[in-house]
Amino acid sequence: MDWTWFHRLASPPYIYRLAATLTPWFAWPAGLLIAAGLYGGLVLAPPDYQQGDGFRIIYVHAPSAWLSLMIYSVMATAAAVGLIWRMKVAHAAAASCAGIGAWFTVVSLVTGMLWGKPMWGTYWVWDPRLTAQLILLFLYLGYMGLRSGIEDTARADRASAVLAIVGVVNIPIIRFSVEWWNSIHQAPSVMKMDRPSMPAEMLIPLLTMMVGFTLYFAAIMLVRLRAEILRRERSASWAREVVAS
Amino acid sequence: MSEFLSMGGYAAFVWPAYAVTFLAVFVNIWSARRALRRARAHAQRRLGVAGEPS
C-alpha cells in the first residue's frame, strides 16, 4: 500500500498550506447555509402545535449541541492519532478544537436553559442529559487547563491527549441518556434511525443549520490549526517562507 | 413585523437564545483570526523577516 498520503498529512507545511486553501471553501458555504437556515427556521417554518414559536430555539440549540459532541469526537480522534503515531500535526489539530467546542457547549447549555424555562417551568434540572452535557464542558475546560499548565508542548500534547481519550466515554452517555434514563429532555427528533418526527418545513431548515454549523466549525478550526502549527514550527525554514509573504 | 418580533409571546426566550449563539459564532471567528495574526507576528519577529504590517 502507498503510504505517501499519510506522510504528507503529517507534514506541517503541507497541512498549513492545505488549511489556508480549504478555509474559504468551508467558510462561504457555511455563511450561506446558516443565513438560509435562519430564514427557514424563523420565517418559513410554521409554529409548533404545542410550543408555538418557542420551538424555534431548536434552530440554534440542536446545531450547537451537535457541534459540542462532534467537535469533542474530532478532538479525541486527533489526540489518539497524535498519541499512537506521534504525529505533531494531529496534536495541533486536537488543540485547535478545544476552545471552539467549549464555546458551543456553553451555547447548547444556555439555549437549552432558555428553552427549558417556558416549556418545563425551570431553567435547570439535574437531569441525566443536562448533567452529562455540563460534564462535557468540564472536560473541555480541563483539557484546556491541562495544556496551558504544562510548559513543554510535547508533554502537554501527551497528557491532554490521554484526558481527551478518557473523556470520550461521556459522548455516548450524552447521546443515549434520554433513552437509558427517564429524562425530562425530549427524545431526538432528527438523529434517529426511523423517520424524523418533524414535517419537512421544520426539518429542512434544521438540517441546513446543522450542515452550516459543521462547515463553520471546519473553517474556524483550520484557521486555528494554522496558528497552532506556526506557533510550534517557528524555527523551520518553510515557516520563514510562509510568514514573509 | 412586531408580530414576528414578539415570537408568539416567547420573545424573551427565543431572541436571547439566538443572540448568545451568534455571539459565540462571531467571537470564534474573531479569536481564530487574532490567533493566526499573532502567531504570524511572533514568527516574523523570531525569524527576523519583515512581513506586511498587520
Q: Is residue A49 part of a domain?
A: no
Mean pLDDT, residues A98-110 taken together = 98
Interface pTM, i.e. ipTM: 0.92
Per the structure, the count of domains in chain B is 1
Q: Do B50 and A64 touch (CB under 8 A)?
A: no
**Interval A169-194: pLDDT, tens:** 999 999 888 888 877 888 777 656 56
Asked if residue A143 is part of any domain, the answer here is yes
Touching check for A129 and chain B: CB below 8 Å? no
In this structure, is residue A222 part of a structural domain?
Answer: yes
Cβ separation A118–B13 shorter than 8 A: yes
Cell of B44: 516574523
**Long-range pairs of A143-152 with CB within 8 A, sequence gap ≥ 24:** A143/A75, A143/A98, A143/A167, A144/A98, A144/A99, A144/A102, A147/A95, A147/A98
Q: Distance between CA A148 and CA A150 in Å, rounded?
A: 6
Does residue A102 lie in a domain region?
A: yes
Judged by a CB distance cut-off of 8 A, whether residue A239 touches chain B is yes
Q: Does B18 map to a domain?
A: yes
What is the pLDDT, as a whole number, of residue A163? 98
Instruction: Report if residue B32 sits inside a domain.
Output: yes
Residue B33 lies in a domain: yes
pLDDT tens figures, A1-57:
677 777 777 889 999 999 999 999 999 999 999 999 999 999 999 999 889 999 999
Tell me which residue range forms the domain holding B25. Answer: 2-47
The number of domains in chain A is 1
**Domain region containing A204:** 56-189+197-232
